[in-house]
Amino acid sequence: MTQCNSEVIQFPRCKRRKVEVDFKGGSVTSDGGSLHLQQADQKLGLLHEVAKHLPDPRRSTSCIHDIESLLRQRVFSLCLGYEDLNDHTDLRLDPAIQTSLNRDTLLASAPTLCRFENYADRDMAGAIHEVFMEQFIQSFDSPPEKLILDFDATDDEVHGNQSGRFYHGYYRHYCFLPLYVFCNKQLLVSYLRPSKIDGARHAGAILSLLVKRLRNEWPNVQIIFRADGGFCRRHVLTWCEKERNNVDYIVGYTKNSRLETMAADLIDQSATDFDETREKQRLFRDLTYGALSWKKERRIIIKAEHNHLGPNTRYVVTNMSGGPQELYDEVYCHRGEMENRIKEQQLDLFADRTSCSKWWPNQFRLLLSSLAYVLVETIRRVALFDTELKNATCNTIRLKLFKVGAVITRNTRRVRFHLSSAYPLKALFRKVQLRLDPG
């Protein structure tokens, strides 16, 4: 049995030697790669720009930690895997995180960070989203020819009797219903909403704002609105079709008895072919269809699939040109990649840690996780694009690049991180440093 006291922890012997552990190593950290976050932030100027828009009602003469330092401490800690404010009771002593924040003294405590989060308000949320958009635009060296805007919502289970808490019948628990917008892997919107609303609520207004800003920057860019059937709303499709907006769309459509009748021969054919070959069959067709609530007919793509589990028919409404299978496989199906980005937000960067009692601090926590995502995604896009981690999740990047053990020595002239000689990704670590160097 393992025996331990306040001084030494005993582990099984190694070659007759005692194996003992204590917590007296001094300036040792498990976050030796946190310096990459500092580099990425300096390269983008992300958190400096966000800090300009954050409210600060404190008396400045009494403040040790400025708003920008508090923001960096909170975002960097999320990138490093520390979701809870209580973690900062000890993290404020970590020399690696202190160095990445350009400090050599104690960082902010958990109560200070808690008060910081509760300064949040509506104006702050809008301003941070403007920063997201500006960062997205600056990420392009030349005007893009096409941008696909992916919209999706997800559930964010609540932790108590919080403001905006409602039961959602589909998810079967009390939750929030945040709306996300991504373009490829880059985040544009993370908008917290109560769950008592339609999942597509505000999507049309947000699409309009995004398109207006993008067209101001790139007048000739092709913009495609892509989403699942939960976002197929008449007013959104009609807005996209107006000549002054000129937005393409490809959106899932819920099946109904009328569509099932119109596609019956194709569905039967896929079933017949499967019975003959015992191999999965996928047949495609398009047709014009006018729902009762529509003022015009629109193009519907039918995918009639049949496999050993039975029929799997899907419908998609679009105003784009091209073959039905090409549009479905090469354009619409890639919508599922956005769901992986949402998983990174919630599972890797703790976007569902919205446990504040008030609404705007919870929106701020969602945005803090989003800022953490932007930093890690920038490292992936700028520094890892041709490496073994080019498609890695945020969690994998954290484990292989940030969570690196180091002994730290500090004196009046330098701070030195002594990483393990057995660290297997030395070359990658060096490459990332060079590519993120703001100089």
- The pLDDT tens digits for 233-278 are 999 999 999 999 999 999 999 999 999 999 999 999 999 999 999 9
Give the three-state DSSP class for 28: strand
Looking at the structure, tell me whether residues 300 and 408 fall in a common domain: no
341 falls within a domain: yes
14 falls within a domain: no
- The pLDDT tens digits for 175-232 are 999 999 999 999 999 999 999 999 999 999 999 999 999 999 999 999 999 999 999 9
User: Residue 424 class from Cβ within 10 Å (0-12 exposed, 13-18 middle, 19+ buried)?
Assistant: exposed
Looking at the structure, tell me whether residues 156 and 185 fall in a common domain: yes
CB 163 within 8 A of CB 107: no
Q: List all residues 6 or more positions away from 404 whose beta carbon is below 8 Å from its beta carbon.
A: 30, 31, 32, 33, 419, 420, 423, 429
Q: Which of 360, 401, 375, 340 is nearest to 74 (CA)?
A: 375
User: Residue 10 class from Cβ within 10 Å (0-12 exposed, 13-18 middle, 19+ buried)?
Assistant: middle
DSSP 4: B
**Domain residue limits at 203:** 122-348
Token pair in block for residue 50: 């966000």
In whole angstroms, what is the distance from residue 83 CA to residue 99 CA? 20
Looking at the structure, tell me whether residues 326 and 238 fall in a common domain: yes
- The pLDDT tens digits for 370-421 are 999 999 999 999 999 999 999 999 999 999 999 999 999 988 899 999 998 8
Q: List all residues 6 or more positions away from 35 whose beta carbon is below 8 Å from its beta carbon.
A: 96, 99, 100, 417, 433
In whole angstroms, what is the distance from residue 394 CA to residue 334 CA? 20
Return the residue matching tokens 């569902």: 352
Looking at the structure, tell me whether residues 64 and 135 fall in a common domain: no
> Rounded to two decimals, what is the model's pTM?
0.93
Looking at the structure, tell me whether residues 49 and 193 fall in a common domain: no
Q: How many domains are contained in the chain?
A: 2
Q: List all residues 6 or more positions away from 25 whose beta carbon is below 8 Å from its beta carbon.
A: 407
Looking at the structure, tell me whether residues 175 and 127 fall in a common domain: yes
Query: How confident is residue 439, by pLDDT bands cut at 50, 70 and 90?
Result: low
7 falls within a domain: no
Return the residue matching tokens 């001094």: 26
Looking at the structure, tell me whether residues 92 and 127 fall in a common domain: no
Q: Which of 321, 316, 320 is nearest to 303 (CA)?
A: 316
Give the torsion sign (CA, 129, 131, 132, 138): positive
